[in-house]
Chain A
Amino acid sequence: MGRLFAVEIVYRGIFQKTLAKNISRGIVLAAHAEGKPGISFGRYGDSPERNGIPAKNFAIVGTDDVTLEEGMAKYEPTEVDISIAVDDTLCKGVESWAWYGLQPINRLLKPGGALIVTSREQPDALIAMCHRKEYPYRLAIVKGTPSFSGLWVYKDDHTDVRILGAVAKLLPDLVGLEAVQKVILAEWRDPLKATSAARAYERTTTTTVRPDQGNPEKPYQFELPKWWEMREGIAIPCIRPGQPMQDMDNHKTGGFRPERNPTFKKFTTRTMRPVVNFDTCIKCTLCWLQCPDSCFDVTPDGLYDANMEACCGCGVCEAVCPVTDCVTMVNEVAFHDNASQWEMWKKDKDAYQTWLNGKIEHRPERSHGFRYRGQYEEQTPEMLEIAREG
């Protein structure tokens, strides 16, 4: 019995599908170049991918065919050597389907396994987002803006090969840099991409995450009912109608808060969240009306509070808001909870303004994908610079 390797790539659905596939294929082909057999597959349950909703891709490699078969006997591996998050906000957890519960990004990591994250953040920021693990694991950051490559047009900012370089560094027994570069040249015929992989290899440093570090919250989970506990006829009760909200000061009730799907919250789909300036809001209703996820609670004082359990961060509210900087999309990494902004504002309006400005001031630009033809051509050189510099 030889050695078995498993790598999972966690990605944000359709706009990172090609990226995840490239990484997974790259690992298996490189291992193959070293004489190790392997398979690469996207988790069927995630397909067809939605845009933003977390999905998984797996690379399974064995030192020989029999060992590989041991790995293939379980469709989705129960433990992995490496988890790759191609977007750092995935560190907050993964909820791919109703009833999956909130699954920590490091859930499948073996003791001493490695979590690779594409991010501009420092290790501490990412560690704080990840749920605590009972044993130590390694965190490696591939520096750069998470790549939302789009679908029909692939944004080739080298994220794929840089992650391959990092994998070679973290788990040389799985693939060596030489094999990785060989495969890159064969697959893409682009020496610069091979160089990018080498840079990532050289510059990848790891931090060990201790059991006492990370988000102490216990992620929510659900127990699936038995067949005789489920209602027949594939029928389930609808969501109950919502209720008016209550003002915590004067206890006046008003506005409206819809009931929400208790077993699929969808907030792990979010990479940016709307921050609302309630002082400049003109109550035009557009953010609330045009939200495809019904995530705005209507407050007793007629304001619109984006419910962070339900918001998936599409940004339409910012797009439709007629007031400058009233609704602003801010990188999700800048937040540590899903608390109500309206309640914060009600408690202390000045403190809220300070908090708000702090969030809006320095926010790294995030792109969810294609905005106009030529955009990627403009963006990639900058990314390639990062690639060269590591």
Chain B
Amino acid sequence: MAQAVAHRAEETEKTALITGSEAIAVACKLADVDVITAYPIRPYDTVMQYVAKLVANGEFDCEYIVAESEHSQFEIVKHASAVGARVFSGSSGVGWMYAFEALTVTPALRIPMVVMVGNRALDDPGAFGVEHNDALAVRDLGWQLVWVDSAQEALDTALIAYRVAEDRRVFLPCAISCDGAFLTHSQGLVKIPSQDKVDAFLPPYQRGDLLLHPDNPITIAPQANEDWLMEIRRQTAAGMERSTAVIREAYAEFEQIFGRKYGNPFFEEYATEDADVVLVGMGTLSTPVKVAIRQMRREGKKVGFVRVRWFRPFAAEELARTLGRFSAVGVIDRDFSLGSPHLGGVLATEVRAAMYLATSQPPVLGFICGLGGREVTVPDVRKMSDIIREAAEGHPQPPTQWIGLRE
């Protein structure tokens, strides 16, 4: 079946110039989402503006509800999903935090909602620019978290997210992170897959014996005491454990049906084959990093880059094995974890933890960079590369440094 569809690939696919937000709106339409809830906050809400247009023009049939708060936004889709509807929602920055209670209860209820986070700095002060702390705030709760760096990847990942989240072995929510402005507000050329390919890739959402419906009378989430909580947590953990394999399957079949290759689903490697040192990061900072690497390679500096896509589940062993090949690693965090080990960022802390059991353990340096939408510049990247080269050559460096800061 998948093969047959793949044949008709070219003639049915169109290319459009759209933003990352618009790409995800298109993915929602292709996935035939049933219930969508909107609430205004920059930068994610561009996706809802596009959805509203599609609904208004009769191109997309869904219940499009403008909620009165982010908390309601996520509670509404949670309950719509419980009665069997495919749902979509999203938020940014403090809006995401306002919804925090609703985000907290979703994984244990095994609600496979797919949402978009337009990454934004948290108040105060109010700021529209990108920081990853909003999405990262739910990293311990059972949310699958993925970062993308192009409009095309945003669209493709949204389809993959539904396929993974709604797989009965997983049944956990998934948040797709798009960097504010760089992805939510800038347009790129995107191949729009045909409906029949999407239908071949994405089966209908079946809740089975977890469906809340008079034909399947169940009671969901009664008050529990200490005799039960650990067992319930363990069940949710099992879903996250199984997610890794399901993600691999999904990417493999995606490539088969749509013909677009993403290689390793969990992280992208760039110029790593012969690199001696490597930078690690998430999201759209990949562009300046890649440009800087090309410059430095012309100067004979063998720097590579690893872009982490899936932060939850975190491909710890695989990433540790990969990073172990290099003589020094620099992790760029577009976020912070104040008071954390070595006063660094979230990604650096996770990478160090992943490396702990690795047989080869190069020094791992952390960089806090590009907060609040500040650009991560090519010179910034060169500077970070020089610092890790120093470390590689045996000159100890501070574990965490702020880059692009006026000091």
Contact = CB atoms under 8 A, between A and B. Distances in A.
Interface string A126-155: 000000000000000000000000000000
Interface stretch (B18-26, B116-124, B225-233, B296-304): B225-233
A52 B319 CA distance: 57
Given A233-B220, A238-B217, A227 B210 contact: no
B225 A235 contact: no
A249 interface: no
A226 B232 CA distance: 10
Given A238-B217, A238-B219, A232 B231 contact: no
Given A45-B226, A227-B234, A230-B235, A235 B220 contact: yes
A234 B229 CA distance: 10
Contact of A234 (B209, B232, B239): B232
Contacts of A231: 209-210, 218
A233 B231 contact: no
B221 interface: yes
A370 interface: no
Contact of B209 (A99, A224, A235): A235
B108 interface: yes
B339 interface: no
B378 to A, nearest CB: 48
A234 B235 CA distance: 9
Interface in B208-251: 209-210, 217-222, 224-228, 230-232, 234-235, 238-239
A contacts with B: majority SS: loop
Contacts of B97: none
Nearest to A225: B231
B110 A227 contact: no
A13 to B, nearest CB: 16
Given A99-B227, A227-B234, A230-B231, A236 B110 contact: no
B108 A234 contact: yes
A233 B210 CA distance: 7
A238 B218 contact: yes
Most buried by A among B218, B221, B222, B224: B218
Given A233-B109, A233-B220, A234-B220, A227 B227 contact: no
Interface string B190-222: 000000000000000000011000000111111
Nearest to A99: B227
A236 B222 CA distance: 9
A244 B239 CA distance: 42
Nearest to A44: B226
Interface residues of A, number: 17
B218 A235 contact: yes
Interface in A213-255: 224-228, 230-238
Contacts, number: 55
Interface in B240-299: none
A386 to B, nearest CB: 38
B88 interface: no
Contacts of A234: 108-109, 220-222, 224, 232
A97 interface: yes
Q: Which of A45, A97, A233, A237 has the largest count of B CB atoms less than 10 A from its CB?
A: A233
Nearest to B236: A232
Given A227-B231, A230-B232, A231-B209, A237 B225 contact: no
Interface in B356-390: none
B370 to A, nearest CB: 39
Contact of A232 (B217, B219, B235): B235
B225 A45 contact: yes
Contacts of A230: 231-232, 235
B336 interface: no
B305 interface: no
Contacts of A225: 231
Nearest to B108: A234
A235 to B, nearest CB: 5
B143 interface: no
Nearest to B233: A227
Given A45-B225, A97-B225, A233-B220, A226 B231 contact: yes
26 contacts: A45-B226, A97-B227, A99-B227, A224-B228, A225-B231, A227-B230, A227-B235, A230-B235, A231-B210, A231-B218, A232-B171, A232-B235, A232-B239, A233-B109, A233-B210, A233-B220, A234-B220, A234-B221, A234-B222, A234-B224, A235-B210, A235-B218, A236-B218, A236-B219, A237-B219, A238-B219
**CB-CB nearest 5 A-B residue pairs:** A227-B231, A238-B217, A233-B110, A234-B221, A233-B210
